[in-house]
Structures are given as structure tokens and as C-alpha cells.
Amino acid sequence: MLSLGTHAWRRSEAEQNSVVMSVVQWAARTFTEPALLVEQASEFGWISVPDHPAARVANAPHESLGEPSKISGRALWQAVLTQLILDGNAYIHKVRGTDGRVIGLDWLPSSAVEPEAIPGTTNRLAGYRLRAGVRETWLPSEDVIHIVECLDPDMPLRGKSALLPAMREVITDNLIARYQQSLMRAPAPGLLVSVRDPGEAIGLTPQFVNDTKRLLQQVASGDNAGGVVFPSVPLDVAPIGFSPEQMALHQMPRLTEERITAVLGVPAIVLGLGAGWERSTFSNFREAREAAIEQFLVPKWNAVADALNDQLLAEFEPMPGWRFRFETEEVRALQEDQDARHERVRADFTAGLLDRDAAATLLGYSPGANPK
């Protein structure tokens, strides 16, 4: 069974990986683009309820707490999304007033929270242990919103990050970066120095060998790289090993980039990574961004909304008949291209499927208008 230490090690590797963090940064910016609404079911469908107390708490989690340092709703949900990507778990503490009502929300780092099962069970939740330094606090299950990526079969009370199958690639990519960094500290390959005239080797002293070695190291690496050495004995200098160009180091990250982004569901082209830009065009960039949002972010919007329905909205309203929803139709990348919309409506009007007023309404004009 995996320990929290193992989870922490994996998070550390992921947080040091530029490909993973590119996904996190892109996703965090885009995730908070749609508004988070509370809606009520009616005979006309779902109707948004402006200024609902549950929506106020979710969008301004510290507004009612009277604290000098406040976390915004945007920051809260960006932190939640980051934890879902890196760990597969996100925790939010419900702050209650003196009457027991929820008046605020606090984000809890997943590295500090451990779900605990009822004794004798593995998948029945008793509550959560929160660690802060050497202190430990018990949180009842009803005071914590726990959002999971997908359940971990080895630890049924925890979620599992989608990164788990790609951890080998994440670690490999980190090793490549560290290796490239070490090469930049000493960019030249190793050198083999030999005496051109064997007769000269007889008189070489240890002092001469050490001095020559030191001079060659100085002009081959560090701040003095590129200097000139004039040895008193004719020497032949040959490189040992391979140069960065011979090793094709610029190609090494391509495979790990492609695999990591494929597992997470965000095409490399969307993140501006080399593996994606090699085959990029404006058209396929737009299509890739739409696919990333639909395949990567839409499921997370739905997962977060479902968790809030079950674990937060029920504190305010009897269920069912109420729901949280992200207003995803306002996300720019998911909106239909205006030229494509005009072509589709024009074709339907020409085919007789729409009358003039219906076509005008679909294009944002008032019925009966005569747009030029």
C-alpha cells in the first residue's frame, strides 16, 4: 500500500517538471473562466438563482469571515484544480458560524490531509486527520469537501492522479533536464591529452602534467571558457565522449513531452511545447485547444460541481432540485466560430429549415430586423 511519503515524493517530482506545470498553469487559468452558478429546477428548465448564499460562499470563500487576508474564489478553485492534477485529491474545509451554518471555505493542502476509515473497514469514511507541523487535528467528514480525480483501488478513500501512469516519463524528463544542466556547467566533452613526440614524454614532470590539466580545464569550462593555452611540449588533444549536438539532446525531451501531455489529455501544441509546435498550424491549434477543454477541463468542471452539489449545496437547500454548474457556454474556446455559425444558419434558411425571424434570432438580431 502506498504511504503519504510516496505521494509526497511523486508530487515533488511532478512539481519540478516543466511539462506538468505547463499543464497546471494553462488549466488553472482556463478553469476559472466560466462563472460558478447555483440553479434551481423549474418547469421551464434550470434557472440561475442570483446571489444564492451557497454561490456567494463558493465564489467569495472568506467574505463573511472578517479576516484581513482573504482568499478569492478564483484562487481557491485554481488551488483545487492544481491539487487534482498533481495528487488526484483536493480538500476544502467548511467554516461554520456560531449557529452551525457554513459561512466560508478554507483550502487544505492535500499533503496535510489523510482520510481515515471506520475501524474494520477500508472504504467507509470516519473523518480526516489534518497535520500542521507536529500538531494533528481531527475534522469530521461533514466539515470537509473532498473532490477526487478517480478513486484509488489501493486506497479507496483517496483519489488517484492521472499522472500516475506517466510518472516514469516525468522522472525521465526531470533527469534529462538535470543532465542538460550539468552539461552546461561543463559543456565540453572530456579530453584525452597525449604527447605528440614520444621522446618528449620522458622528461615530463608531475608538476607539468598537473599545470597543463588545470589550464585545459580552465579554458574548456567555467567563466574562462574559450581561452588559449600554449604548452611548452607539443600535445595532441582529442575529445572523449559525445558533444550535446552528437547526442541530439534537443530531441530527447520530445518523447516524454508527448507521453505526459497525452496521459493528462492536453495536447503539447496547446502548451507551446516543442513536441506540439513542430506540427502546428493556426487551424489545428484552435482545434487542439477546443479538444483540451472538452476532454480535460469539462470533466473536471463536472466533477467539482458534482462534489459541491453533494457536499456543500446540501447544507443550504434540500436535494434534488438544486445544482451548482459552471457556465461553460461562456468559455470562448467552446463558442461556435461566428463565420461557421453564419454559414450554418444561412444554409438552413436557404433550405427552408428556418424562417427569416428564426435565422435572425440565431444570429443575434431582433426578429424582423433587416441587417445589412
- Provide the pLDDT for residue 220: 65
In this prediction, the residues of the chain whose per-residue pLDDT falls under 50 are 1-5, 282, 371
CA-nearest of 112, 140, 114, 113 to 126 is 140
Decide if 86 contacts 15 (C-beta within 8 A).
Answer: yes
What pLDDT is stored for residue 254 in this prediction?
73
Q: Which amino acid is at 61?
A: P
- pTM (whole model) above 0.85: no
Residues 78-84: contacts with CB within 8 Å, 24+ apart? 78/28, 78/31, 78/32, 79/107, 80/107, 80/147, 80/304, 81/24, 81/27, 81/28, 81/31, 81/300, 82/24, 82/28, 83/109, 83/110, 84/147, 84/148, 84/149, 84/159, 84/161, 84/300, 84/303
Residue 185's pLDDT is 66
Query: Rounded distance, CA 269 to CA 322, Å?
Result: 38
Q: Sketch the domain layout of the chain as residue ranges.
A: 1-164+263-335, 188-242, 337-372
Q: What integer pLDDT is reported at residue 257 of this predicted model?
A: 84
